[in-house]
Structure 1
Amino acid sequence: MKVLVPVKRVVDANVKVRVKGDGSGVELANVKMAMNPFDEIAVEEAIRLKDAGKVEEIIVVSIGPAQAQETLRTALAMGADRAILVKTDETAEPLGVAKVLKGVVDAEKPGLVILGKQAIDDDANQTGQMLAALLGWAQGTFASKVEINGDKAKVTREVDGGLQTIDLKMPAIVTVDLRLNQPRYASLPNIMKAKKKPLDEKSAADFGADLKPRLKVVKTEEPGGRKAGVKVKDVAELVSSLKSAGVI
């Protein structure tokens, strides 16, 4: 069985994001970029499934600029077998990404698509669900555990009330949550080997998709600063202050 793992190039999670002076978005120039943390977890899970003998080939795909090759090489160094870069300088929105991924799925015929539940740049949490709708496949979102048994996948989901376990008939879409696993670090020998692994460059048109943006960012601004707290002498003063503020 093939597994397809979409990965996204985003601002490194440890970097403090700065808003552009004109408020049109966040500053990306001279900023450290990395693989979306949720997608790292998805790559790791695909590798573990391969190590367990459930998967034969892992294909990673990214939709973005030429620099996204670095992100794909990281996934290859972790253990993926080959990569596809759908090159575009447009801002890829969830629906456009889902349409491109549908084209990749139609071409590659994977039995499972594993991806992060969301990207840390836009926090949209839409692509996996949209892809499942376009393909008509079963989906298991926010996965904290994935088990493959024949043509079925058992997915434990993190929901508001706790955990929910569902059985999916494959092919299926699984979006992963933080507690699924701990991604591995790529070793130096594997980083060197990744340079020789196949990485194909495609365009959205190759998959019959259009990445033209449909949304416009009106304004981006820094969150408001936190206001200073107030110390009170005792519980009576605290209750009085809360009443004055209309909280109780």
Structure 2
Amino acid sequence: MKILVPVKRVIDYNVKVRVKPDGSGVDLVNVKMSMNPFDEIAVEEAVRLKEKGVASEVVVVSIGVKQASETLRTALAMGADRAILIEAGLGPDRDIEPLAVAKLLAEVAREEQPGLVVAGKQAIDNDMNATGQMLAALLGWAQATFASELAVEGDVATVTREVDGGLQTIKVMLPAIITVDLRLNEPRYASLPNIMKAKKKPLAEKTAADYGVDVTPRLTVVKTVEPASRKAGVKVGSVDELIAKLKDEAGVI
């Protein structure tokens, strides 16, 4: 079975994001970029399934700018077999909308015929949490989102999902789309020998036009602003004082 894993190049989670002075977007000049953390977990899970003999090949795909090839090389160093880069040409500071990404991934899935697509539940730059669900709808495949446990036996995947009320375990027939949550696994670090080997692994470069998909944005960002700073908290000396502040100042009781 082949596993397809979409990965996205995002601002590193350790970096403090800065908004451009004109409010037109986020400043990406000299900003460290890395693989989306949820996608790292997806790559790790796919590689583990291959190590268990469940999968025969792991293919990673990224959609975006030319520099996303670096992100794909990281995935290859983690253990993926080959990579596909789809250049969209919107520029480094313009994100591709989830529907366009899902349409491109659907075309890749039809071409590659994977038995399973394992993706991060969301990207940390826009927190859309939509691409996996849209992809399942476009392909007409089963889906299981927010996976914290995954087991594949034959044509059935058993997924434990993290939901508001706790945990939910479901079974889906393959082919299926699985989106993963943080507690599924701990991604491995790519070793130096594997990083060197990754440079020799195949990385195909294509464009959105090759798949006949229009990635023109349907939404316009009017303005980007930083969140309002929180006011400093206060300490209270007693329960009575706390209740008085909640009632008279906060107005919540």
TM range (shorter): over 0.9
Alignment deviations for residues 56-94 of structure 1 (CA, whole Å, 9 cap, x no partner): 000000001110000000000000000000012213110
Q: Which moved more, 1:234-243 or 1:154-163?
A: 234-243
Residue 220 of structure 1 and its aligned partner are, at CA, apart by: 0.9
Partner of 1:51: 51
**% same residue:** 72
Aligned to 1:8: 8
2:19 maps to what in 1? 19
- CA distance in 1 between partners of 2:235 and 2:2 (Å): 60
Distance 2:49 2:189 in 1: 17
Gaps of 5+ in 1: none
Q: Within 1, Cα distance between the matches of 2:170 and 2:233?
A: 45
CA distance in 2, matches of 1:49, 1:96: 28
Q: Give the C-alpha shift of residue 51 in structure 1.
A: 0.3
Q: Tell me the equivalent position of 1:130.
A: 134
Residue type of the alignment partner of 1:65: V
Do residues 247 (structure 1) and 225 (structure 2) align?
no
Structure 2: segments with no counterpart, 5+ residues: none
- Alignment root-mean-square deviation, CA: 0.8
What does residue range 76-115 of structure 1 map to in structure 2 within 5 Å? 76-90=76-90, 91-115=95-119
Tell me what 1:162 maps to: 166
Looking at structure 2, the residues matched to 232 and 177 of structure 1 have their Cα atoms a distance apart, in angstroms, of 38
For each residue in 1:181-200, what CA deviation from the matched residue of structure 2 results, as whole angstroms up to 9, or x when unmatched? 00000000000000000000
| Distance in 1, Cα, partners of 2:15 & 2:161 | 29
C-alpha displacement of 1:231? 2.6
SS of 1:62's equivalent in the other structure is: strand
SS at match of 1:233: coil
- Distance in 1 between residues matched to 2:27 and 2:118, nearest whole Å: 29
Q: Deviations over 1:8-50 (max 9, x none)?
A: 0000000000001111111111100000000000000000000
* Residue equivalent to 1:146: 150
| Number of residue-to-residue matches in the alignment | 248
For residues 42 and 240 of structure 1, the distance between their equivalents in structure 2, rounded to whole angstroms, comes to 49
Residue type of the partner of 2:141? W
Q: Distance in 2 between matches of 1:111 and 1:7?
A: 18
Q: What does residue 192 of structure 1 align with? A: 196
CA separation in 2, counterparts of 1:113 and 1:232?
52
Deviations 1:110-136 (A, max 9, x none): 000000000000000000000000000
Q: TM-score, normalised by structure 2?
A: 0.96
Can you list the C-alpha shifts for 1:155-212, whole angstroms capped at 9, x where unaligned?
1100001111111010000000000000000000000000000000001121121111
2:219 counterpart of 1:218: no
> Which shows bigger deviation, 234-243 or 75-84?
234-243
Residue in structure 2 matched with residue 63 of structure 1 by the alignment: 63
Counterpart-to-counterpart distance in 1, 2:152 and 2:233? 51
State how far apart, in whole Å, the 1-side matches of 2:65 and 2:75 are: 16
Distance 1:38 1:173 in 2: 15
Name the CA distance, whole Å, in 1 between partners of 2:182 and 2:52: 21
Distance 1:237 1:143 in 2: 44
* 1:233 CA displacement: 2.5
Q: Normalized against structure 1, the TM-score is what?
A: 0.98
Distance 2:101 2:180 in 1: 17
Match status 1:203 vs 2:207:
yes
Paired AA for residue 95 in structure 1? L
Runs of 4+ residues over 3 Å off in structure 1: none
CA separation in 1, counterparts of 2:235 and 2:149? 45
Structure 1 residue 225, shift from structure 2 partner:
0.9
Q: Secondary structure in 2 aligned to 1:242?
A: helix
